[in-house]
Amino acid sequence: MFTIIDRYIIGKFLKTFFFMTAIIMVLTMVFDLADKLNDFIQAGASANEIIFEYFFNFMLLYANMFSSLIIFISVIWFTSRMAQDTEIIPIWNSGRTFGRFVRPYMIAATILMLLALALNHFIVPRANKVRLAFEEEYYWQNMQVDDYHAEFPGEQVVYFSNYTSESGIVNDFVVEQWNEQGEIVSILKAKTAKNEPGSNTWKISSFFERKVGEPQDEIIVGTTKDTTFSFSIDEMATRANVAEAMSYFELKEFIQREKDKGSKRVPTYEVVLYERTSLPFSTYILTIIGIAVASRKKRGGIGINIAIGIGIIFIYIFAMKVTSVAAMNVGFPSYIAVWVPNVLFGVIAYLLYRNVQR
């Protein structure tokens, strides 16, 4: 059963969070607009496309991305105001334990955490599909891939020297077919290759094909040829942020395909997947730290609490970056890397919680 104080704190928490989110997103949009608007207009984007396909989804992405940190600042802000206005001391003097005082905070944090989980895994990826498609058409420059090498399911190994999205042509294209015993079955080399959009059909030119067999190999040389493979150029030429547009189940399948290919980007995609869960759960930890920092009236007022909060945020972000880089570059397990900051700051939250209780 919620008391008047519970409803008051929950209301303060949620109102402050959504107000701060709106302010930060408007400022972020203004800076992004100033940077990109001219490029959008020159590329021929309409006002309706800019507003609803780009900026609406842009704000949804970043509001959710920074939600945990905005929650932290919100807790410090309104709790400091309550402490400065001497609203917290009467609550404690009424016989409430610190744990009971924290309960409405955790209820509000749970609401926001569940909302962030749904947004991270399902809603924001769909919004990103629209935003990234807009950027692909009106903002991004020509994409280029150099020195590509990957293994595809079915014992196929693919190489090429370079590819540009503007021409759609792959140069120095090589496809090797191996068997399960590790013996090469065939090799195809082509000077150029082009994939028909949305299909696995390819047109190769100036090609040489060798099929290994007994008693002698079969060699085919030709000028042009239409053929099919088990892959498309979309699987090979992907931008680094392609995972942003995939829901939980799509991203899991994508990561498995990349593992089968031996892609070096697998840790990057795994970090994206696991952060979608770890960041919302940091809401609890940052909320407790925020309460511990701001619930005592300080001589410096709200300003000193905000300064302490910003310092903690920078340390938390630094810890996230260090562990993410370790996962992507030195082989540190991704699922551990994304949870290490939460574990470390969870210990800090517990110590602060015990200290405030005294």
Instruction: Report pLDDT for 357.
Output: 65
Q: How many domains does the chain have?
A: 2
**pLDDT over threshold 90, residue 95:** no
Q: Could you tell me if 191 and 292 lie in one domain?
A: no
Whether residue 257 is contained in a domain is answered as: no
pLDDT per residue as tens digits for the range 106-130:
999 999 999 999 999 999 999 999 9
Phi-psi region of 217 (alpha: psi -120 to 50; beta: other; left: phi over 0): beta
Residue 53: predicted pLDDT: 93
Note whether 130 and 274 are same-domain residues: yes
Question: Where does a domain end: 221, 238, 255?
Answer: 238
Q: Are residues 154 and 131 located together in one domain of the fold? A: no
Mean pLDDT of the region 181-203: 91
**Whether residue 218 sits in one domain with residue 312:** no
In a domain, 49, yes or no: yes
Q: What average pLDDT does the chain have?
A: 88
Can you give the residue range of the structural domain that contains 173? 144-238
- Residue 260 located in a structural domain: no
* One domain, residues 15 and 134: yes
Give yes or no for residue 155 having a pLDDT over 90.
no
Residues 25 and 78 in one domain: yes
Q: In angstroms, what CA-CA distances link 97 with 112, 346, 348, 353?
A: 24, 21, 20, 12
Most confident of 1-5, 214-218, 304-308: 1-5
Q: What's the CA gap between 255 and 263, in Å, rounded?
A: 9
In the chain, the N- to C-terminal Cα span, in Å, equals: 27
Mean pLDDT, rounded, for 244-267: 87
The token duo for 63 is: 């509001």
Tell me: do 117 and 195 sit in the same domain.
no
* Residues 116, 234 within the same domain: no
Both 37 and 121 in one domain: the answer is yes
| Distance, CA of 107 to CA of 116 (rounded, Å) | 14
In this structure, are 290 and 172 located in the same domain?
no
177: three-class secondary structure by DSSP: strand
Res 298 pLDDT > 70: no
- Res. 252: pLDDT tops 90: yes
284 and 176 within one domain: no
Query: Tens of pLDDT along 18-42?
Result: 999 999 999 988 898 888 888 898 8
Question: Is residue 299's pLDDT more than 70?
Answer: no
Average pLDDT over every residue of 176-199 = 90
Record the pTM.
0.80
User: Is 149 in the same domain as 63?
Assistant: no
pLDDT of residue 224 exceeding 90, the answer is yes
